[in-house]
Chain A
C-alpha cells in the first residue's frame, strides 16, 4: 500500500462526495415547491397546462441520470 494509492483513493473519495453533494442539493431543492420561495414553480408554462413544478420533477429525474452517466464515464476513464 503506497502513498500514491492512498492519494488516488482520496481523489476518488472527493469525487464521490462531490457528486453526492450536488445530487443531494438538487434532490432537496424539490422541497422548494412547498415553501413561499417556490411559489413561482406553480405557474404554468406559456399556454400549456404544464407547471414549473411538474417540469422540475421530470428535469430532476433526467439530471440525476445525467449526473450518474458523467460519474460513470469519469470513473471508467480514471480506471484505465
Chain B
C-alpha cells in the first residue's frame, strides 16, 4: 500500500516535470488544501503581468510578418535565447515536482533532475547547428528538405499537434489546480486568466513577446531558488553536510534518503525514465523551435550551451532545496494540518521551504514566479501548435510553400485563439479526470517519433520517406498501446488490479522499435522516391554544417 501511494506520488511528480502540474493525480502523503490569499503574491504577480503586457505591446509593433511572428526575426542573441530556452523548460513543475519528490524520497528524486538536464548536451552536440542551418520556423522544415515534403510534413505536423495538445491539457489542468492552491482563485477563473494572458502574449507579440516573457520568468525563478538555497545553507553554517544531517534526522527513512532505493528499486524503471526524459525533451517541438530565433548557427550552439549552464545550475540548486525541505519543513508543525498531513501535499514542499526561510515575502515571490512560469510554458506551447497549423500545414502543404503572407499571419493568430479556447475547454473537461496518461504521451511520442525522424534525417544517408512514415506510425501506435496497457491507464483509469505492461514510460521499448522499423523499411525501400531521398543526403549534410550562403558561394 505504501509503495502504491509512493508511486502515485512519483508519477504525479514525473508529470510535474514534463512539465505538468497534475495535482489531480493525487499527492504523496499530504492533503489537498488551499493557501490563504497572499497579498504579496498577488501584488508581485500583477507587477509581472503589467510588465509582460507592456513588452507584448512593444513586441506587437515589430510583429508584422510571419518571420517576426514565428522566430522573432531571428534577432535574439545566444545568451538571451539560452535563458529563454531555460525559461521554457525550467517549469513550476520542475521546481515544485522535483523538490516534492526529494521531500518524499531524497536522492531518488534526482533521477528526474539528471534526466531533464541530460537532454541539453545532446541538443547541442547533435542538433543545434544543423537544425538552425536547415530550418526556417519549425523542425519540420529541416526534415522536409530531404524527404518528400507533403507526406512527411503531414505526419510530423500531426505528431507536433498531438504533443502540443496533450501537453496543453496537462498544463492547463495542473495550472488550474496550482493557482487554486496558491492564490485561492476558482479553477475556471484560473484557466481563463492563464489562457487570456497567453493569448495576449502570443497573438499580439508572437515569438518576440513569448521570448521575453520566458527570459524574465527564468531570471525570476533562478533568483528565487538561489535565494532559498543561500538561506538554507546559511542556516546550516554554509555546510551541505550539516544540511544533509538535519534532513536525515527529520526523515523517517533516515540516512537511506542520501542514496538510491527509497522510491525506485528497479534499474529498468530508471532506464526507461532516463530515455523518455532525454530523448523526449530533445524532440519537443517548442524547444526545437527556439533554435530559429537566433541570427546564425554559432548563436544556436551558444543558445544550447547557455541553456545548459542555467538549467544545470537550477538542478544543483534544487538538490539543496530538496534536502532543505526535509530539514526545515518535515519537522515544522505549522506546515501540517490537524491530521498530520503536509498542507497542499508534497508538491507544496518547495513553497513551504520558501516560507520557512523567507516568510510571507519569499512565499509570495515564489508563488508569483510559479504563476509566471505557467504562463511562459503555455505561451511557448501555443506558439508551437499555431506554427504547425499555419506554417507546416497551411503554408507549406496546402499552399505548396507559396502562401499569401497576410493570410498566413492572420491564420496563425486565429490558430492561437483556437488553441487557447481548446485549452480552456479541455482543461475544464478533464478537471476531475485522472489525466496522468495524457501527460505521459508527449514525452514518449516525442522520443519515439520526433527524435528518431530528426536524428536519422540528419545522420543517416539511407533514410527514406517511407521508412520515416512507417516508423513514425509504429512509434506512435506502440507508445499509445503500451501507455494504455501500463499502470497509468490500465490500473489508475480502468481500475484493473495489475497492469499488462509494468512501466509508465515505455520509451525504452518504443524508441528502439521505431528506429528499427525506420531503418528496416528504409533499407528495403526500392521506390523512385527513395533514390531521391538518399541522393539528397550529402547536399543536406554539407548545407547543415556550412549553411546555405556558403553552399551557394561554393556552387557559384
Q: Mark A50-80, 1 if CB is under 8 A from B, else 0.
A: 1111100110111011011101100110010
Residue of B125, B129, B271 near A19 (CB, 8 A) is: B125
A34 and B270 in contact (CB under 8 A), knowing A5-B542, A17-B459? yes
Residue of B271, B274, B319, B538 near A54 (CB, 8 A) is: B319
**Contact between A16 and B125, CB atoms less than 8 A apart:** yes
A69, B302: Cα distance in complex, Å:
10
A27, B302: Cα distance in complex, Å:
22
**Contact between B125 and A34, CB atoms less than 8 A apart:** no
Q: Which residue from chain B places its CB closest to the CB of A33 in the assembled complex? A: B260
A72, B113: Cα distance in complex, Å:
24
A57 and B319 in contact (CB under 8 A), knowing A20-B122, A68-B124? yes
Residues of A within 8 A of B544 (CB): 9
**Contact between A34 and B267, CB atoms less than 8 A apart:** yes
Residue of B261, B265, B316, B555 near A58 (CB, 8 A) is: B316
A64 and B121 in contact (CB under 8 A), knowing A1-B538, A6-B538, A38-B260? yes
- Cβ distance B326 to chain A, nearest Cβ, rounded Å: 12
- Cβ distance B17 to chain A, nearest Cβ, rounded Å: 16
**Contact between B308 and A64, CB atoms less than 8 A apart:** yes
Residue of A27, A53, A58 near B274 (CB, 8 A) is: A27
A41 and B259 in contact (CB under 8 A), knowing A8-B545, A9-B542, A71-B125? yes
**Contact between B114 and A30, CB atoms less than 8 A apart:** yes
A65 and B459 in contact (CB under 8 A), knowing A50-B244, A57-B319? no
A28 and B271 in contact (CB under 8 A), knowing A1-B538, A19-B125, A65-B308? yes
Residues of B within 8 A of A34 (CB): 260-261, 264-267, 270
User: Which residues of chain A from 1 to 27 have any CB-CB distance to chain B below 8 Å in the complex?
Assistant: 1-2, 5-6, 8-9, 12-13, 16-17, 19-20, 23-24, 27
A71, B122: Cα distance in complex, Å:
11
**Contact between A13 and B459, CB atoms less than 8 A apart:** yes
A79, B547: Cα distance in complex, Å:
12
Q: Which residue from chain A places its CB closest to the CB of B555 in the assembled complex? A: A1
User: Which residues of chain B from 541 to 556 have any CB-CB distance to chain A below 8 Å in the complex?
Assistant: 541-542, 544-546, 551, 554-555
Residue of A1, A49, A58 near B542 (CB, 8 A) is: A1
**Contact between A27 and B118, CB atoms less than 8 A apart:** yes
Residues of A within 8 A of B264 (CB): 34
**Contact between B117 and A51, CB atoms less than 8 A apart:** no
B278 at the interface (CB under 8 A from A): yes
- Cβ distance A72 to chain B, nearest Cβ, rounded Å: 6
Residues of A within 8 A of B312 (CB): 61-62, 64-65
**Contact between B118 and A51, CB atoms less than 8 A apart:** no
Q: Which residue from chain B places its CB closest to the CB of A17 in the assembled complex? A: B459
Q: Mark B268-305, 1 if CB is under 8 A from A, else 0.
A: 00110010001000000000000000000010011011
- Cβ distance A25 to chain B, nearest Cβ, rounded Å: 12
**Contact between B121 and A23, CB atoms less than 8 A apart:** yes
Q: Which residue from chain B places its CB closest to the CB of A35 in the assembled complex? A: B267
A50, B541: Cα distance in complex, Å:
47
Residue of A19, A27, A49 near B114 (CB, 8 A) is: A27
Residue of B126, B260, B316 near A20 (CB, 8 A) is: B126
A50, B319: Cα distance in complex, Å:
12
**Contact between A31 and B274, CB atoms less than 8 A apart:** yes
A20 and B554 in contact (CB under 8 A), knowing A49-B248, A61-B114? no
A53 and B260 in contact (CB under 8 A), knowing A31-B267, A34-B270? yes
Residues of A within 8 A of B21 (CB): none
Residue of A33, A60, A72 near B305 (CB, 8 A) is: A72
- Cβ distance B107 to chain A, nearest Cβ, rounded Å: 5
- Cβ distance A29 to chain B, nearest Cβ, rounded Å: 10
**Contact between B241 and A75, CB atoms less than 8 A apart:** no
Residues of A within 8 A of B305 (CB): 68-69, 72
A37, B301: Cα distance in complex, Å:
36
Q: Mark A32-46, 1 if CB is under 8 A from B, else 0.
A: 011100100110100
Q: Mark B203-246, 1 if CB is under 8 A from A, else 0.
A: 00000000000000000000000000000000000001110110
A9 and B541 in contact (CB under 8 A), knowing A19-B125, A49-B248, A72-B301? yes
**Contact between A71 and B124, CB atoms less than 8 A apart:** yes
A20, B451: Cα distance in complex, Å:
14
A58, B319: Cα distance in complex, Å:
9
Q: Mark B116-139, 1 if CB is under 8 A from A, else 0.
A: 011011101110010000000000
A72, B278: Cα distance in complex, Å:
20
A50, B118: Cα distance in complex, Å:
22
Residues of B within 8 A of A54 (CB): 107, 110, 244, 258-259, 319
**Contact between B248 and A23, CB atoms less than 8 A apart:** no
- Cβ distance B83 to chain A, nearest Cβ, rounded Å: 16
A65 and B309 in contact (CB under 8 A), knowing A6-B542, A30-B111, A71-B125? yes
Residues of A within 8 A of B129 (CB): 75
Q: Which residue from chain A places its CB closest to the CB of B245 in the assembled complex? A: A49
**Contact between B241 and A49, CB atoms less than 8 A apart:** yes
**Contact between A5 and B546, CB atoms less than 8 A apart:** yes
Can you report 5 A-B residue pairs in the complex whose CB atoms are below 8 A from each other? A6-B542, A27-B278, A49-B240, A49-B245, A68-B120
- Contacts A9-B545, A23-B125 supplied; 16 other A-B pairs, CB < 8 Å: A1-B538, A1-B542, A8-B545, A19-B121, A41-B260, A44-B258, A49-B241, A49-B242, A49-B248, A50-B258, A57-B107, A57-B113, A67-B121, A68-B124, A68-B305, A76-B298
Closest 3 CB pairs of A and B: A42-B259, A49-B244, A48-B241
